[in-house]
Amino acid sequence: MNKLKGYIKNINSSQNLSIVEIDLNGIDICSIVVETPETASYLKTGNQVFVLFKETEVSIGKNVQGLISLRNQIPCKVTKIEKGKILSKIDLECKEHRIVSIITTSSVERLNLSIGDEVTAFIKSNEVSLMEI
C-alpha cells in the first residue's frame, strides 16, 4: 500500500461523488470518492489527509507522449527494481515521496527499465483512496 501525506487543495462534488485534488508538496494527486463534504467531515479544503493506492494500481510509462485519460501522471525516477518470475516491484522516487509499483516482469523488460530511468507513474483517480489523519 502506498501511503502519502498531503493536504486537500480542491473539492468538486456532485450529489454523491467528489473529485478531490490533493497537494503532496508539489505533486498533485486526484481522487474520486463516493463521499461529499456533507457525508465525510474530513473533506474540507486545507485538511491534511493520507492518500492511499495499491502498488498494483500504479502503471509506468517511459517516453510517453500523447493524451492519456489517466488523471494522475507523476514524473518519477526509478530507484530500485526487484524482478520476480511474473511480477516485478519497482521503487520510484518523486520529489521526497516514494512510490512503489508492481507490474509484470515482461513489461519491465519491454520498457527496458533500469535504475535511474525517468518515467511517469500513472494512477487512475478511482484507484486512489483518502484516509483521515
Binding site for other proteins (CB under 8 A): 1, 31-35, 40, 42, 50, 52, 54-56, 82-89, 100, 102, 126-127, 129-133
Q: What is the bridge-based pairing of β-strands 87-94 and 97-104?
A: antiparallel
CB of 112 to other proteins, least distance (A): 19
Q: What is the bridge-based pairing of β-strands 97-104 and 59-61?
A: unpaired
User: In this structure, what DSSP letter does residue 42 have?
Assistant: T
Within 3-93, residue ranges assigned H as helices are none
Cβ-proximal residues to 28 (8 Å cutoff; 6+ apart), any chain:
9, 21, 22, 72
C-alpha count within 13 angstroms, C-beta hemisphere, residue 25: 8
Cell of 97: 515521496
Within the chain, residue ranges assigned H as helices are 105-110
